[in-house]
């Protein structure tokens, strides 16, 4: 069944409509109305005096990443690649190396997180089987001038780290 097509003629626009003069004036009047309203009610405008007052972070906000370490001071990560595999932003890069310790098979030679790509979802923390990576520092990412400065290396992650209290290997002694 073929439908009938109805052709409509567009109305001709006036010169004012073609130049958008009326619409520009309407926009300027709206902006001016909001400006005057805010100037007359200065006490009701939500303003923060930034360096002195800071907006509180939500309770569920985590902060920057950190790596935990063992009692002997070595990094707790065993370079299993679970965090980088589980990361939806693909911002974690790990290069694994063989460990001299017979209890630990591998360790991360380099562990990098690109903070510009990271969405701070916490999936890396959930995927880690040995409690090596955490997002509970409460520290905000510092401002950077280049992409290279936004890549956090293993030394930076360990400097924010703590001694992990979790039992490694799943065996309780």
Q: CB atoms < 10 A from the CB of 96, how many?
A: 17
Q: CB atoms < 10 A from the CB of 93, how many?
A: 15
**According to the model, what pLDDT value does residue 173 have?**
41
- For the stretch 98-106, contacts whose Cβ atoms lie closer than 8 Å and that sit 24 or more positions apart, written own/partner, are 101/74, 103/169, 104/74, 104/78, 105/78, 106/78, 106/79, 106/80
Report residue 38: phi and psi, to 5°.
Answer: -70, -35
12-71 per-position pLDDT tens digit:
888 878 888 888 999 999 999 999 988 888 777 777 888 888 888 888 888 899 999 888
**According to the model, what pLDDT value does residue 169 have?**
59
Q: What is the mean pLDDT of residues 60-87?
A: 90
Of residues 53, 48, 60, 39, the one with CA closest to residue 120: 60
Pairing between strand 133-134 and 66-67?
Answer: antiparallel
Report, in angstroms and rounded to the nearest whole number, the Rg of the chain calculated over CA atoms.
28
Of residues 80, 64, 170, 89, the one with CA closest to residue 132: 80
Q: What is the DSSP letter of 167?
A: P
Taking CA atoms, 23 is separated from 12, 33, 120, 148, in Å, by 17, 15, 42, 45
Find all residues with CB under 8 Å of 117, minimum gap 6, and list them.
Answer: 89, 90, 91
129-152 per-position pLDDT tens digit:
988 999 988 888 889 999 999 999
Cα–Cα distance for residue pair 50/66, rounded to 1 Å: 27
* pTM assigned to the model: 0.67
Of residues 63, 164, 47, 167, the one with CA closest to residue 118: 63
Among the four given CATH numbers 3.30.1490.20, 3.30.70.3270, 3.10.180.10, 1.10.101.10, the one describing domain 66-159 = 3.30.70.3270
């Amino acid at each position: 069944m073929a439908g009938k097509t109805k052709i409509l003629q567009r109305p001709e626009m006036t010169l004012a409509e073609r130049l958008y003069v009326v619409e520009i004036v309407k926009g300027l009047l709206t902006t001016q109305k909001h400006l005057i309203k805010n100037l007359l009610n200065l006490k009701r405008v939500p303003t923060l005096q930034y360096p002195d007052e800071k907006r509180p972070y939500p309770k569920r906000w985590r902060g920057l990443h950190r790596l935990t370490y063992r009692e002997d001071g070595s990094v707790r990560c065993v370079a299993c690649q679970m965090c980088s595999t589980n990361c939806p932003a693909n911002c974690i890069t790990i290069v694994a190396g063989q460990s001299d310790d017979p209890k630990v098979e591998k360790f991360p030679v380099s562990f990098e997180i690109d903070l510009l790509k990271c969405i701070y979802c916490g999936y890396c923390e959930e995927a880690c089987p040995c409690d090596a990576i955490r997002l509970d520092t409460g520290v905000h990412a510092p401002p950077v001038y280049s992409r290279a400065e936004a890549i956090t290396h293993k030394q930076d992650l360990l400097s924010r780290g703590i001694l992990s209290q979790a039992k490694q290997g799943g065996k309780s002694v």
